[in-house]
Structure 1
Amino acid sequence: MVNDSLKEKAYRLIKEKIINCEYMPSSFLVENELMEQVGASRTPIREALNKLEQENLVRILPKKGVVVCDIVLGDINKIFEVRELVEPYIIRNYAANISREVLLAVKKKITVIEMAGERTTVYAADNDLHQMLISASNNAYFSELMSRIYAQNHRIRILSGQKIEHRIQETHEEHMLIFSYLLDEKYEEAAEAMKEHLQRSKLAAINAMMS
């Protein structure tokens, strides 16, 4: 029987390196090196890789090895298509579940981080906002779906981040508008502001990947 804690450790560590682009798209992963890095035997590593393949983060190629999935322009369109459908819907239907205290706390945290302008923490702050909204739905299926989407979205940010520094200030302004509507309980306006934010983020990512 595979040690569940080792399997989860292998999955978590390999996934973290993939989404942070320490393992770059199109690179091959060497099983023996993964075993050494994770400190686990071959079986937990293989089970972790099977799970990551289901999440479209790696491809297992028979007799060739394991390759980190690439990100192409079509992926950006598909990722944001899902986000533009799901996130405004969640705001319209579930944002009222979020207390004013939570909204103010998350807004304050995001403001401090985004004004500092350090890319890595800005990405984390952006995730805080979107995860707050997903959690408000109390729907495990939304959470599972968006966890996979955000993992891919994070890779896009890492790969294109250096080319879209101007988006940090723009993103902050867009976030503040969303919070303003949420705090005023104007959920339809907040949903539309989120949709526009996502459309601008998609365009910036596409332009960065093409430049």
Structure 2
Amino acid sequence: MKDTVYKTIRKRILYLEYQPGQILNEKILAEEFGVSRSPIKDILNRLEWEQFIRVIPRTGSMITEVEFSRIMNIYQVRFEIESFEASLAESQFSSKHCNQLKDLLHACNNLFDKKDPKALTKIDISLRDIIHDSAGNPVLADVSDKLYAQTFRLWYSVLSKGGWQEEVTSVKTEVKKIIEWSSSGKPNGLVKIRKTQLLNHFDRLSRKFLGT
């Protein structure tokens, strides 16, 4: 039960159902989920450690703001972590992974005329899971996912700011390039694809978030 509540609250934060700056009250959350305040306190402490909330004495727990300067630093680390994971994934990428990517490609095509931000993020997360599975390093996957979560809110916040088809095209392009690479087996091909797409992703988010 405790893990379910944690995942629900964390998901609400990531998908901006709880807005940055919003105060979460232990008592209200405990009543909503039908638990005592003790597990809620533990969950909020865990989310504070993950830097999604900040505990304010005698007030409650405040959802942290999306700070661009900090996210920029996180992306610098993501570039290196995800490039390294892609290098591991290259040697173990299989036909199973390729078939899974083809399913994602089909899912992308269905989103061009149907704006569904959660569905697009689900495809992106599934793509990451495929690479995690191919790389075969759960510790690295865990680190990568924690960094991804720290930048997720920035991406989700700009999905409603226009350029929907541009966002779908970006995800689709990466999936398509990886499928094409899997047929050629070109050395360091997956690394280059992941690094290029992540750089483009960051540049696009910077432009939309900062309005430049």
Same fold (TM > 0.5): yes
Indicate yes or no: 2:10 matched with 1:40: no
Which SS does the other structure have where 2:54 is aligned?
A: strand
Which of the numbers 92, 107, 115 marks the counterpart of 2:109?
A: 115
Preserved contact between residue 92 and residue 188 of structure 1 (Cα < 8 Å): yes
Q: 1:146 to 1:178 in 2, by over 3 A?
A: same
Preserved contact between residue 18 and residue 68 of structure 1 (Cα < 8 Å): yes
1:35-74 to structure 2, matched below 5 A, reads 35-74=30-69
Q: For the aligned residues, what is the CA RMSD?
A: 1.7
Preserved contact between residue 35 and residue 42 of structure 1 (Cα < 8 Å): yes
The residue aligned with 1:78 is 73
Instruction: Tell me the distance in 2 between the aligned counterparts of 1:182 and 1:69.
Output: 40
Identity %: 21
Higher deviation after alignment, 16-25 or 181-190 = 181-190
Superposition misfits of 4+ residues, deviation over 6 angstroms = none
Letter matched to residue 82 of structure 1: V
The TM-score with structure 2 as length reference comes to: 0.89
Instruction: Tell me the distance in 1 between the aligned counterparts of 2:190 and 2:167.
Output: 20
1:187, distance to aligned residue in structure 2 (A) = 4.1
Higher deviation after alignment, 170-179 or 38-47 = 170-179
Q: 1:151 to 1:14 in 2, by over 3 A?
A: same
Larger fraction in helix: 1
Indicate yes or no: 2:89 matched with 1:91: no
Listed as ranges, the gaps of 5+ residues in structure 2 are none
Preserved contact between residue 156 and residue 205 of structure 1 (Cα < 8 Å): yes
How far does the alpha carbon of each residue in 1:118-150 deviate from its partner, in whole angstroms, 9 at most, with x for none? 322111111111121123333232122122122
1:46, distance to aligned residue in structure 2 (A) = 0.4
Listed as ranges, the gaps of 5+ residues in structure 1 are 1-5
Aligned residue-pair number:
205
Instruction: Tell me the distance in 2 between the aligned counterparts of 1:146 and 1:95.
Output: 17
The residue aligned with 1:200 is 200
The residue aligned with 2:148 is 150
